[in-house]
Amino acid sequence: MNKERAYFLDIYVAGRLYGDADLAWDSLKVGQEVTLVREPDNDSDPSAIALYVNAKGSSLKLGYVPLRKNQPLALFIDMGWGEAFLATISRLDPTAPYDRQIGVTLRLLRNDNRQD
């Protein structure tokens, strides 16, 4: 087991139609870091968390953490623990259904300030 990071959650990118995933597709790679951005003022979902990647020289929105998975994560981010998570692309499958083509894994990072 990796003592620097622990598995937290696997998701597929939801709401791709509201982002730039198709524009970024050719630049995406498994293992690429994904940035989590809270959207508390999102009219459709007050627990919304957008997923961004750096691609093509800019920050592009892939879509969102799915509605059924975002509430606990949104709470952690709102409490200031967003930096405790590392999100990376874990799956890219252009032959899968559209809402299952991009997978993201979230891991908890070790707190370097802890006492053993």
Q: Give the HSE-up count for residue 6: Cα atoms under 13 Å, Cβ half-sphere.
A: 6
Q: Which residues pair with 102 in a beta bridge?
A: 92
Q: Tell me the pLDDT tens digit for each residue of 34-47.
A: 999 999 999 999 99
Q: Give the HSE-up count for residue 94: Cα atoms under 13 Å, Cβ half-sphere.
A: 7
What structural domains does the chain harbor?
5-109 (3.30.70.2330)
The predicted model gives 65-93 an average pLDDT of 96
Beta strands in 43-84 (DSSP E): 49-55, 58-64
Task: Write down the residue that tokens 């692309």 correspond to.
Answer: 89
Q: Which residues pair with 14 in a beta bridge?
A: 64
What pLDDT is stored for residue 5 in this prediction?
Answer: 85
Contact assessment for residue 54 and residue 17, using Cβ atoms and an 8 Å cutoff: no
The predicted model gives 91-110 an average pLDDT of 95
Is the pTM here over 0.95, yes or no?
A: no
Q: Tell me the pLDDT tens digit for each residue of 51-65.
A: 999 998 999 999 999
